[in-house]
Each structure stands twice: as C-alpha cells, then as structure tokens.
Amino acid sequence: MAKYALGDLLKVRHIRKDKAEKDVVQARRLLVEAQKILQKTLQELEDYRVFVREETERLYAEILKQSVRRRNIDDLHEAVKALKASLLEHEKRVENAQEECRKAEEHIEHCKEALAMANRNIEKIEAHKETWVAEVHKEEEFQADLEMEDFRVKK
C-alpha cells in the first residue's frame, strides 16, 4: 500500500493535540493554585477584620478609662485610620486574587477550546485517511482483478 500523503500532517496534529492536553492540565493546576491563594487571602482578610475590630475597641476602651488630651484623641483617630487603610490593602489583595482566579478560568476555557480544535483537526484527517485507505484497497483489488484477467486470457 502507498504511503498516506497526509501522514506527516497527522503526526503534527497529534503533537499539537498532546500539547493542548498538557496546556489544559497546566491551566487547571494554575487555577487550583489561584484558588488556594484566594482562600488564603480571604482568610487573612477575615482575620485582619477581627483584629481591626478588636484593636479599635481596645484603643477606645483605653481612652475611655483615663482623662486624655485632645492630642491623644487625634493620635487614636490616626491609629484607627491606619488600621482601616491596612484593611483596604487586604481587601485589594482579595480582589487581585479573585481576578487571578477569573483569568485562570478563562485560560482553562481557552485551552479547552484549543484542545477541541486539535481533536476536530485530527478527526478530519483521520476521516480522510479512512476514505483514502478504502479507495486504495479498491484500487488494489481492481489491479488484482485485472492481473487475474490477464492471467486467464494468456491461458
């Protein structure tokens, strides 16, 4: 039987499919990692919220127990502002982690689409190959029949 003309192309398509499969696996790993980071930052945010609430209460309770000057109250307000600013930074980290998760999910979808495309390309070539093989077999049978006729006629 003759060599299939698109055999090399089929090999390339299989290589691309293998790469696409590896990309999907890698994208899933990245998503899991991003989700772990998100969970960690969410926990840190919650822990920090508790800390800010407790620290704010502690600072106000400390001020209420003693007579203070205006300067000490201003210092207290600055300390509370600093705690709340830091809380905003923690919230920003959570937003960034959520964005990374979203990007990772989009990347997985992109990789899955590439894998589906690679599979479709392989299926097209394999369908063509099956048709080609059937035609080659018919041609070989036809040639064999012709040879048999030539053999019979020569008798």
Q: Give the pLDDT confidence of 129-142 residue by residue, as tens digits.
A: 999 999 999 999 99
H runs (alpha helix) in the chain: 7-64, 70-154
Q: How confident is the model at residue 21 (pLDDT cuts 50, 70, 90)?
A: very high
Structure token pair of residue 44: 């840190």
**Residue 11: pLDDT above 90?**
yes
* pLDDT tens-digit series, residues 84-107: 999 999 999 999 999 999 999 999
Three-state SS at 77: helix
Give residue 49's identity as a one-letter amino acid code.
Answer: R
The CATH number of 7-154 is 1.10.287.1700
pLDDT at 60: 84
Q: Domain ranges in the chain?
A: 7-154
Rounded to whole angstroms, how far apart are CA atoms 66 and 53?
A: 21
Q: What is the mean pLDDT of the chain?
A: 91
C-alpha distances in angstroms, 74 versus 12, 44, 77?
71, 28, 5
Tokens of 113: 């689409």
Q: What is the value of pTM for the model shown?
A: 0.73
Question: Are 63 and 140 a contacting pair, CB within 8 Å?
Answer: no
Q: 111: exposed, middle or buried (C-beta count within 10 Å: 0-12, 13-18, 19+)?
A: buried
Q: Read off the pLDDT of each residue in 27-42 and give the average, rounded to a whole number.
A: 97
Mean pLDDT, residues 19-44? 97
Contact criterion met (CB below 8 Å) for 71 and 109: no
Could you tell me if residue 68 is left (phi over 0), alpha (psi between -120 and 50 degrees) or otherwise beta? beta
